[in-house]
Amino acid sequence: MACLQSGKVIGYPTEAVYGLGCDPRCEAAVRQILSLKQRPASAGLILIADDMERFRAFIKPLDADLEARARSVWPGPVTWLIPRADDVPSWLAGDHQTIALRVTEHPVCIALCAAFGGAIVSTSANPRHGDPARNPGQVRAYFEDALCGVVAGELGGGYNPSEIRDLATGRVLREG
């Protein structure tokens, strides 16, 4: 947990692949992830948490129907695009008026978020266009000593990245 609390980047297992994560409020760590992945900041990143309440600072207030829609599939492998709060920086949400959020059901991710006390960035542990890492050795091979650490653990039962849906419309933007 010291890695996340000190603004560093970690690798960790998720539902389908190993991910890279950091404190989403730490610009330097978020930019390090973008650099490691060779990903443009305009694309934005996904945040995960162990409870929807951890996302409140990142989103605009939701009406009851939209919140119920999100909660109907959480925890689980669905990422919702939710209108972002006005103060969420573009280096985190990209060029979007929404931010991508998922309440995870993976036990390691739940434990990380609970111990950290907040949401964390979650993006696949691979350079852009590379195959996602599926074990700690692959994470280390991609990123050598650039990470503060790699959390060992089993992947969840999924094989594909999480499904992405627009909360306002329910439309699926990426199949899971």
Locate the domains of the chain by residue range.
2-174
Mean pLDDT of 8-19: 96
How does pLDDT run across 109-166, given as a tens digit for each residue?
A: 999 999 999 999 999 999 999 999 999 999 999 998 899 999 999 999 887 778 999 9
CB atoms inside a 10 Å sphere around CB 8: 19
Q: Does domain 2-174 have CATH number 3.40.50.720?
A: no
How does pLDDT run across 31-90, given as a tens digit for each residue?
A: 999 999 999 999 999 999 999 999 999 999 999 999 999 999 999 999 999 999 999 999
pLDDT for 160 equals: 77
pLDDT for 175 equals: 84
**Which H/E stretch holds residue 2?**
helix 2-5
CB atoms inside a 10 Å sphere around CB 98: 19
pLDDT for 4 equals: 97
Q: Taking a C-beta distance cutoff of 8 angstroms, is the pair 98, 82 a contact? A: yes
Structural tokens at position 93 = 């949400």
